[in-house]
Chains A and B, each alone.
Chain A
Amino acid sequence: MTGTTPTFAPTGHERRSLTVQQLVRLSFLAVTLLLVVPALLILGVLVVRGSPGWTWEFFTALPRDNGAAGGIWLPLLGTLWLTAGALLLSLPLGVAAAIYLSEYARDNWLTRTIQVAIVNLAGVPSIVHALFGVGAFVHFLQFGKSILAASCTLAVMTLPVVIVATRESLQAVPRAFREACWSLGATRWQTIWRVVLPNSGSGILTGLILVVCRAVGETAPIMFTGAVFFRPLVPDSVFDKTMALSLHLYTVSTQLNNVPPHLPFAVALLLIVVVLALNAVAIGFRMRLRGRKRW
């Protein structure tokens, strides 16, 4: 080494590893983009090919020609019915189960078994829930193919997800919060109602929105339990069959031949706009939650 070299000049080896580091960084970025770009491409394709289908008639007319023509609002209404019915059942039960598991149950083998079973059931394929729905609700309980049966099937499908998401948000509340409350003489329920639930509310809500997204997008569990390809009538009761947006998309893209080419894309675009709007709300909640958290 001569006296003119600065003390901290990188050696050849260091320079090489920095080059490698830069290359590696760029290639990882490229891989990530390879994953992200399809998402944007899909959105782009749906918008470009679907938006010509978004006419006034598309949103206001009744479906005609087995669904190949006419409007979309009836399936949209059906999806609303099914999702609301599913939530009405799975929300109270699921939150109750999560509160029970997180706040009341002792940590013994039974609780742990139940938790493992619930986590596992959250991953069971949706078609298995369809089998259950057909067997249990349509035939065994004699609901027939109806909104009630389909809602129950969706509820059973989403129940484990509701429980897991709620339980996680409950457990995220530090134990010290509960202890502080108990030490002031509050009962267990007062603690849960006044301290634990308010502090995990946004987390639970985020989980619920994602559950709704899943219920809105599912096709397999409802197509055998209550949703039908074509029924241009507003359902009168929960024992009626109904059309649904996801199944309608399946119908227009696979079951019919005389469909105008833009129709599947228009319906898909609507479905994705609904789901993304819900997701945006969920992301907003999470950001607020993260900004407010002080522990």
Chain B
Amino acid sequence: MTDRQATADQPQTTAWAAALDRRDRTWWGDAAARVAVLVGGVSAILFIGAICVFIASQGFGLAFGKLDWGEFLFGRRWEPTVEPPTYGALPLIAGTCWITGVAMLVAVPLAFGAAVYVGEFARGRQREWLKILIELLAAIPSVVWGVIGLHVMKPIIQDVFGVHVGLNVLNAGIILGLMAAPIVTTIAEDALKAVPDAYREAAEALGATRWQVVWRVVLPHARPGLSAAVLLGIGRAFGETIAVLMASGHRLMVPQSVFDSAATITATIAAELGEAAHGGEHYQVLFVLGLLLFAITFGINLLADWIVRGRRPRA
């Protein structure tokens, strides 16, 4: 486009330049492909944009109208089917925070340890195998994790801690932690890999052992990337639905300890979407919860992006 305009602007357009501008089959093929890619690409992008618009349009009516935000954020009673319905989402928010917190307590130490070992200590075949096994962990579908929580973790927790309720914050937290750990590991390992080798060589030339190199040089330099890894792990953990629904016990109360059952935002949407009448207030309030999830995800992703990008001068 611009090339041809540029030539047109110049008065001394030569004959050979005009001869180059031939519209043969190749040219039309290129033009057709461009249009096809453009149409496909733009429609995909519009599709994606439509999600945001649609969720917003369904939720906004209630969110900026009837909904009492004070009650929504701090009310302790989530009773959408009782008359009159109350929409106090505090139990859901608290449950989400508790379970995500436990999950991170499980995931972050394991993931960072694994990332350091795989990235800095392990070599050759051992390293390949560890990476494949960690990927295996990431490949297990969420509903299978739910079955593990329901049939394997529940009796273990009941026996080990002597509690009656085996489906609780601890159970869901451990499950989610193991689910989030592979992602945190991968991103953390990338962050370690991004530290230039020259830094390691310089430290080793000064006589530092590998551990000293890791502790004093690599980890401090990789800190932004590691924080981003934690944030994205949080994003993964709190967005999980089916596994949490199966393992948390789904009790709509603010949990007091890790041995209480709890409910999360995602699990509540999953449990109630089937029974909420289309277009009704209950249906709309679920979309408000969806908006909340959307907003938190975007916040976490943008924060992670800012941490990684903002601290380092862009090339």
Residues of A within 8 A of B (CB): 14, 17-18, 20-21, 24-25, 27-29, 31-32, 34-36, 38-40, 42-43, 45-46, 92-101, 103-104, 114, 116-121, 123-132, 134-136, 139-140, 156, 159-160, 163, 187-190, 192-193, 213, 216-220, 223-224, 246-247, 249-250, 253-254, 264-265, 268, 271-272, 275-276, 279, 283
Cβ-neighbour of A39 out of B137, B142, B239 (below 8 A): B137
- Residues of chain A within 8 A of B240, CB atoms compared: 125
3 A-B pairs with the lowest CB-CB distances in the bound complex, closest first: A96-B40, A217-B141, A31-B113
Contact residues of B between 239 and 293, Cβ < 8 Å to A: 239-242, 246, 266, 269-270, 273-274, 278-279, 286-287, 290, 293
Query: Contacts A20-B209, A39-B136, A189-B30: A31 and B44 contacting too (C-beta < 8 A)?
Result: no
Query: Contacts A132-B51, A190-B30: A100 and B38 contacting too (C-beta < 8 A)?
Result: yes
30 contacts between A and B (CB under 8 A): A21-B212, A27-B113, A32-B117, A32-B122, A32-B130, A34-B113, A35-B181, A36-B137, A46-B144, A99-B41, A100-B42, A114-B45, A120-B301, A123-B239, A123-B300, A125-B241, A128-B51, A128-B293, A128-B294, A131-B290, A132-B54, A135-B54, A135-B287, A188-B34, A189-B34, A213-B139, A213-B141, A217-B143, A250-B146, A264-B147
Contact residues of B between 159 and 213, Cβ < 8 Å to A: 178, 181-182, 185, 207, 209-212
A173 to B66, CA, bound (A): 53
Contact A220 B133 (CB under 8 A): no
Which of A39, A126, A275, A279 counts the most B-chain CB atoms under 10 A from its CB? A39
- Residues of chain B within 8 A of A97, CB atoms compared: 40-42, 44-45
- Residues of chain B within 8 A of A27, CB atoms compared: 113
| Nearest CB of B to A114, in Å | 6
A91 to B85, CA, bound (A): 43
Query: Contacts A29-B117, A136-B54: A127 and B293 contacting too (C-beta < 8 A)?
Result: yes
Cβ-neighbour of A128 out of B55, B144, B209 (below 8 A): B55
Contact A250 B143 (CB under 8 A): yes
| Nearest CB of B to A173, in Å | 16
| Nearest CB of A to B249, in Å | 12
Q: A128-B239, A219-B141, A271-B144 given. 7 additional CB < 8 A pairs?
A: A17-B209, A21-B209, A32-B122, A40-B133, A124-B293, A219-B143, A272-B140
Closest to B267 in A: A127
Contact B130 A96 (CB under 8 A): no
| Nearest CB of A to B302, in Å | 7
Is B88 interfacial (CB 8 A cutoff)?
Answer: no
A156 to B181, CA, bound (A): 26
A127 to B242, CA, bound (A): 9
Is B36 interfacial (CB 8 A cutoff)?
Answer: yes
Which of B113, B238, B242, B266 counts the most A-chain CB atoms under 10 A from its CB? B242
Contact B241 A156 (CB under 8 A): no
- Residues of chain A within 8 A of B73, CB atoms compared: none
Cβ-neighbour of B135 out of A136, A246, A265, A283 (below 8 A): A283
Closest to B208 in A: A17
Contact A250 B246 (CB under 8 A): yes
Contact A96 B241 (CB under 8 A): no
| Nearest CB of B to A25, in Å | 5
A27 to B290, CA, bound (A): 42
Is B33 interfacial (CB 8 A cutoff)?
Answer: yes
Contact A217 B147 (CB under 8 A): no
A135 to B212, CA, bound (A): 55
- Residues of chain A within 8 A of B114, CB atoms compared: 31-32, 35-36
Contact A189 B41 (CB under 8 A): no
Cβ-neighbour of A123 out of B117, B148, B235 (below 8 A): B235
- Residues of chain A within 8 A of B230, CB atoms compared: none
- Residues of chain A within 8 A of B42, CB atoms compared: 97, 100
Closest to B238 in A: A125
A271 to B141, CA, bound (A): 8
A120 to B296, CA, bound (A): 11
A21 to B287, CA, bound (A): 53
Which of B110, B134, B235 counts the most A-chain CB atoms under 10 A from its CB? B110
A95 to B40, CA, bound (A): 8
Contact A127 B139 (CB under 8 A): no
Contact B130 A116 (CB under 8 A): no
Closest to A14 in B: B207
Closest to B236 in A: A123
A119 to B130, CA, bound (A): 27
Closest to B33 in A: A189
Query: Contacts A96-B37, A124-B294: A219 and B140 contacting too (C-beta < 8 A)?
Result: no
- Residues of chain A within 8 A of B273, CB atoms compared: 130-131, 134, 224
Contact B117 A28 (CB under 8 A): yes
Contact B34 A279 (CB under 8 A): no
Contact residues of B between 19 and 34, Cβ < 8 Å to A: 26-27, 29-30, 33-34
